[in-house]
């Protein structure tokens, strides 16, 4: 394995976990060489892949259904092609120390080599989605689908609840991490020691950055937006991670036959080239603050595992065939329902 990737993963996981992870996931061909191009320097692609793998593992730890599926894969020697990870943000001025909306993550993704690949109005749920693909290996390094919720499109009561929930958010990105990202964006690489220090900070950014929400605020949010209610408990954690498979219909049928809670239908893009389905979100137990200040535990929807099939098409601009790495607003809106609270 690429020695830089191995060193980065060793910071995040025990050695036994790294071995299992490498056996589970396809690695980008740009990282096929065991020896880095420049000794002692980590490329942006290496760091991006390490972050992607760390976040994928983090999701599996929270999603037992997804973990059961990936455990099955290891018995068949089938590998996961990590297609994209999705996260939700709130474009709201009152977000504490955290930059509002996707700005909290574009400041990370762009230095790592991710570029905007598409914008998707999600008007039915009052959000906007944007996809970011990696410039160095767009087909092989997982994309990010970052969505922003727009509180100004909701009621005044809802807006106040949003402020109550995220208004004291902290910023996990340290000054040193900001400086390292600036160097990475400029040079497209970092010294190994700096990259090893940076990776854990980046991974922490994909967590909940606000305190435990008040139950009354949660109920106010849930009444108008299942998506904002999810953000209230889960924050900026991966909402879902997606496995690119050859035949999403066959995978769905097989998982349904095993009794796993997979979506009833497959979402198909307007072009017909992108097809998606998913397991329903696994429940998680979260703490809320009651009106009397007491801590109250409730089961709420957590994250989930998704499947996608993508077709190759002829690109008129280049005259070459390419994998359709786009998304579809209708597909995304349907998939987001996997975390709707009962």
DSSP string, 16-44: HHHHHHHHHB---GGG--SS-SSTTEEEH
What does DSSP say about strands 143-149 and 274-278: parallel, antiparallel, or unpaired?
Answer: unpaired
What confidence score (pLDDT) does residue 34 get? 78
For residue 264, the tally of other CB atoms under 10 A from its CB is: 8
Q: Name the burial class of residue 112, with classes exposed (0-12), middle (13-18) and buried (19+) by CB atoms within 10 angstroms of its CB.
A: buried
pTM for the complete prediction? 0.95
For residue 46, the tally of other CB atoms under 10 A from its CB is: 28
Q: Is residue 32 in a domain?
A: no
Span 6-11, average pLDDT: 94
Q: Is residue 20 in a domain?
A: no
What confidence score (pLDDT) does residue 169 get? 98
What confidence score (pLDDT) does residue 342 get? 47
Q: Is residue 183 in a domain?
A: no
What percent of the residues of the chain are helix, what percent strand, and what percent coil, each to the nearest 5?
A: 40, 25, 35
Residue 341 has pLDDT above 90, yes or no: no
Q: Which of 19-23, 92-96, 188-192, 201-205 has the lowest mean pLDDT?
A: 19-23
Spatial distance between the Cα atoms of 204 and 225, rounded to a whole number of angstroms:
26
Q: Are 116 and 130 in contact (CB under 8 A)?
A: yes
Q: Average per-residue pLDDT in the chain?
A: 95
Spatial distance between the Cα atoms of 170 and 174, rounded to a whole number of angstroms:
11
Q: Is residue 40 in a domain?
A: no
Domain that holds residue 94: 61-170+210-339
Q: Is residue 227 in a domain?
A: yes
Token pair 């970052």 in the structure block, residue: 146
**Tens digits of residue pLDDT in 306-315:** 999 999 999 8
Spatial distance between the Cα atoms of 322 and 314, rounded to a whole number of angstroms:
6
**Tens digits of residue pLDDT in 259-289:** 999 999 999 999 999 999 999 999 999 999 9
Q: What CATH code is carried by the domain that includes residue 160?
A: 3.10.180.50
Span 123-129, average pLDDT: 97
**Domain total for the chain?**
1
**Tens digits of residue pLDDT in 281-321:** 999 999 999 999 999 999 999 999 999 999 999 988 888 99
Q: Is residue 188 in a domain?
A: no
Q: Is residue 55 in a domain?
A: no
Both structure tokens of 61 = 């730890």
Strand order in the sheet with 114-122: 114-122, 127-134, 143-149, 82-90, 240-244, 304-310, 274-278, 267-268
Spatial distance between the Cα atoms of 218 and 220, rounded to a whole number of angstroms:
5
pLDDT band at residue 337 using 50, 70 and 90 as cut-offs: confident
Q: Which of 79-83, 301-305, 307-311, 330-334 has the lowest mean pLDDT?
A: 330-334
pLDDT, greater one: 340 or 42:
42
Residue 340 has pLDDT above 90, yes or no: no
Q: Is residue 177 in a domain?
A: no
Residue 124 has pLDDT above 70, yes or no: yes
**Tens digits of residue pLDDT in 145-161:** 999 999 999 999 999 99
């Amino acid at each position: 394995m690429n020695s830089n990737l191995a060193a980065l993963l060793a910071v995040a996981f025990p050695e036994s976990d790294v071995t299992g992870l490498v056996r589970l996931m396809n690695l980008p061909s740009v990282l096929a060489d065991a020896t880095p191009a420049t000794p002692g320097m980590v490329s942006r692609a290496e760091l991006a892949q390490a972050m992607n793998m760390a976040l994928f593992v983090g999701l599996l730890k929270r999603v037992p259904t997804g973990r059961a599926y990936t455990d099955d894969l290891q018995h068949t020697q089938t590998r996961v092609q990590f297609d994209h990870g999705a996260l939700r943000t709130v474009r709201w001025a009152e977000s504490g120390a955290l930059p509002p909306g996707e700005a909290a993550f574009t400041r990370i993704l762009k230095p790592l080599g991710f570029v905007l690949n598409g914008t998707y109005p999600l008007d039915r749920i009052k959000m906007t989605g944007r996809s970011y693909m990696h410039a160095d290996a767009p087909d092989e390094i997982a994309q990010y689908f970052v969505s922003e919720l727009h509180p100004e499109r909701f009621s005044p009561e809802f807006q106040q609840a949003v402020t109550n929930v995220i208004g004291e958010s902290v910023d996990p990105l340290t000054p040193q991490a900001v400086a390292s990202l600036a160097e990475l964006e400029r040079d497209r690489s970092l010294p190994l020691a700096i990259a090893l220090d940076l990776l854990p900070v980046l991974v922490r950014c994909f967590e909940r950055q606000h305190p435990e929400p008040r139950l009354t605020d949660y109920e106010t949010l849930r009444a108008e937006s299942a998506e904002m209610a999810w953000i209230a408990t889960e924050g900026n954690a991966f909402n879902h991670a997606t496995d690119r498979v050859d035949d999403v219909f066959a995978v769905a049928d097989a998982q349904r036959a095993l009794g796993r809670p997979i979506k009833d239908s497959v979402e198909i893009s307007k072009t017909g080239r992108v097809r998606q389905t998913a397991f329903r979100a696994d429940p998680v137990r979260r703490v809320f603050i009651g009106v009397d200040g007491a801590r109250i535990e409730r089961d709420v929807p957590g994250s989930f595992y998704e499947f996608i099939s993508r077709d190759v098409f002829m690109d008129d601009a280049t005259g070459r065939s390419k994998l359709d790495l786009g998304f579809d607003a209708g597909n995304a809106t349907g998939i987001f329902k996997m975390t709707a609270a009962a």
